[in-house]
Chain A
Amino acid sequence: MSMQDELKSAVRAALADCDCVIGWGPGPEVLRRSPLFARQEADADLFRADFQAVNNPALFLPEYKGRKVGVVVKGCDARSVGQLVNEGLIRREEVHVIGFPCDGVIDVGKVAARLEGLCEPGEVTSLREEAGAVVLTHPGGELKLEKNDVRADKCGRCRFPNALDADLFIGAPMEPSTGEDPYDDLKALESRPYEERMAFWEREMSRCIRCYACRNACPLCVCRDQCVAVSRDPHWLTQSDGVRDKLFFQIIHASHLAGRCTGCGECERACPVGIPVLLLKRALSRRVEDLFAYRAGIDEGRPPLLTFSLDEPAIKERHW
């Protein structure tokens, strides 16, 4: 039985005692799948777990707290599930986790860059997978792209391609293709003078439209309708269109995710204008890992900023 068939029967089986099963189904464009919520057995046939299974379905789980739901997860999605469980935002026994080995997911922006001069991503009419590659059909012919060249950046540094702590694992587990995260993206920014880094954010944030897709796509952003970004009292942000407010929201988001962000990258992917907002979260994840040896969604225990210890061996305080 192929993995996709295994998935369909796993979904069908899960529906017996689950309110619904969340995974990926057909999307409005060839390159993009849409999150799918199955409630009937017939829906199971629409499920796919493949290169276009981009969205993080863990995002939706807190909404269903109190009811049993099934969820199909990639390695990175499973870490979000783990962190949600760890923080008591969902109950492990209420979630039926179906994991599969993930070979990385598509980054439509990278595909767009490869299609430049040929067409826009929305003009691609079909996609088929070949060993380690995808072949796209577009108005001018076909284009073969190595998956490695068009995978999301997060996939290139993924050390847990197989969902951790799954109730059911379909397909054959695969080896992670990389070791420690080198944080090349952060290092590249940090190799530039401070003024240039701030100018970088000023430029990037200037096209922010304040839609809060970054926030709403974040599985660990749990305040939902009560976000401080829209509160008038306290009044953290004005309603202006200025970069200060726009950047400050990213600072809020990143600081609220410190030690909790699992690096799924949905904030950055969701951004309609492509602002690299994950960088700020990664800066804090790296810091938390350096100081407290804690990786959200992987390591057990309370997130480090929700606890303390009397002696902090990794903290070198300044002596005046």
Chain B
Amino acid sequence: MSKTKFLSPGALPQWLSELAAKATVYAPRREGRAVVYRPHIEGEAPELALRPTESAKHVLFPRAEALFSFTKQGEAEKSGRRLEVQEPAEPGPAVIFGALSCDARGFLSFDPVYEGSGTDGEARDPYYLKRREKTALVVRACKRPLSTCFCHWVSGGPASGQGADVLATEIEGGFFLQAFTERGDALLDAPSLAEATAEQRAEADKAHCAADKAMGEIPDLGPAQESLLDLFDSAEFWRDRSAHCLSCGACTYLCPTCYCFNITDESSGLAGVRLRSWDNCMSPQFTLEASGHNPRPGKSARLRNRVGHKFSYYPKIHGGRFSCCGCGRCIKSCPSSVDIRKIVLDAIKEVGHV
């Protein structure tokens, strides 16, 4: 669990081919102005210069997946009608290549929820867990933060290996690769990789230190959990924070930690598919009740939920861990520049004043 290797840039295509021989490899690709994770195509160089627009969560948690498909058999009038159910194919092994540290840490927020923590395993989610088990993460360390990055506020770091199977650090003439898990060791067991030297390890350590140093100060988010609860009923606070929010789903759908879904049946005639698809608390339908009543009638209540969930309700039941990995995608890609950091800090400040 501590194998180290060295990857020269010239050997990258070969390593990717070696990985792709055993698993579906997802790598960042530039498409238009965006960088998205796509199944790797032989011979294509992954986009490693820019940070991915989206997170890699859809590899483990697809935007839409068939839980099963069904066909109704027989005549409706007769009592003999049967429902035939087909399960989907088992997911195969996968490797997410070139994810960021924050992406890997995002799955750590998913895990307890889908493992059914607090339910004695009753709410275990086999769909997610099967993929989780079969997916390895090759993470690349960041060198410099964007102005929207704040992984260090939420116990992460630009070169954190948390949740990663392999951490790749750019050093002189290539990448220093370090495995953190047995799965990672297996990925590094590849002919295209060279043994790493002690100097290379030292250089990687130095790069990590430099990256950590570039992150800036860390505010105390300790009071966040209580402050957000205290402000739950403060209509004015949330009105002002959400005034410019569009109530779209860009933040949640790009977020590596947002795990909510919807389940719908899509049918045609006697056949149908039960789909699980992404859902988000910014959407009015998320809480719309069958009666027509909506307990979160407007964007201020929805934004309050998003922030509250990440920095208060989730930590409360998951040992204090924020459901936020600090990747900043929700800020960077928000069409209206809503800044979750500012909301959390404002909340702490607001309550501190009272």
Q: Which residues of A contact B (CB under 8 A)?
A: 20, 27-30, 32-37, 39, 55, 59-60, 109, 112, 116-117, 119-120, 122-125, 139, 203-204, 207, 209-213, 215-217, 224-225, 230, 232, 238-242, 266, 269-270, 272-276
Which residues of A sit under 8 angstroms from B34, Cβ to Cβ?
207, 272-274
Q: A279 to chain B: closest CB distance in Å?
A: 13
B243 nearest CB neighbor, chain A only: A37
- Given the known inter-chain contacts A28-B339, A270-B246, please indicate yes or no for A207 contacting B146, CB distance below 8 A: no
CB atoms of A232 and B264 under 8 A apart: yes
CB <8 Å contact, A213 and B243? no
> A213-B246, A213-B249, A272-B34 known; A240 and B335 CB under 8 Å?
no
26 contacts between A and B (CB under 8 A): A20-B243, A28-B147, A28-B342, A29-B148, A29-B337, A34-B336, A34-B337, A34-B339, A55-B244, A55-B335, A55-B336, A112-B33, A122-B328, A123-B144, A209-B63, A209-B254, A210-B63, A211-B252, A216-B248, A217-B248, A239-B275, A241-B63, A241-B64, A272-B53, A273-B33, A273-B34
Question: For the complex, what is the distance from the CA of A39 to the CA of B254, rounded to whole Å?
Answer: 32
Chain A interface: which of B68-76, B79-87, B276-284?
A: B276-284
CA distance A37 to B236 in the complex (A): 13
Q: B-side interface residues toward A, CB under 8 Å?
A: 31-34, 36, 49-51, 53-54, 62-64, 144, 146-149, 240, 243-244, 246-250, 252-254, 262, 264, 266, 275, 277-278, 280, 283-285, 294, 328, 331-333, 335-339, 341-342
Closest B residue by C-beta to A226: B284
Q: A211 to B266, Cβ gap below 8 A?
A: no
How many angstroms between the C-alpha atoms of A59 and B332 in the bound complex?
20
Interface contact B275-A273, CB-CB below 8 Å: no
Interface contact B146-A120, CB-CB below 8 Å: yes
Complex: A223 Cα to B132 Cα, angstroms: 39
Chain A residues in 8 Å Cβ range of B240:
37, 39
Q: Which residues on A sit within 8 Å (CB–CB) of B146? A: 120, 122-123
Candidate in B149, B336, B342 with the most chain A CB atoms within 10 angstroms:
B336
Complexed CA–CA distance, A137 and B240 (Å): 32
Give Cα distance in the complex from A85 to B106, angstroms: 45
Q: Are B275 and A211 in contact (CB under 8 A)?
A: no
Q: Please measure, in the bound complex, the distance between the C-alpha atom of A62 and the C-alpha atom of B99, giving whole angstroms.
A: 41
Instruction: For the complex, give the distance between the alpha carbons of A269 and B328 in Å.
Output: 18
Report yes or no: B266 in contact with A210, Cβ–Cβ below 8 A: no
Question: A211 is contacted by which of B249, B264, B277 (Cβ under 8 Å)?
Answer: B249
Contacts of B283 in A (CB 8 A): 212, 230
**Residues of A with C-beta under 8 A to B278:** 209-210
Is there an interface contact between A239 and B64, defined as CB atoms closer than 8 Å? Answer: yes
The residues of B that contact A55 with a CB separation of less than 8 Å are 244, 335-337
Chain A residue at minimum C-beta to C-beta distance from B280: A211
Residues in B neighbouring A270, C-beta threshold 8 A: 246, 248, 250, 335
Question: Would you list the 8 A-B pairs with minimal beta carbon distance, nearest first?
Answer: A122-B146, A274-B33, A270-B335, A34-B337, A211-B249, A216-B248, A35-B244, A272-B333
Return chain B residues, CB-CB under 8 Å to A213.
246, 248-250, 335
From B144, B244, B342, contact of A60 by CB (8 A)? B244
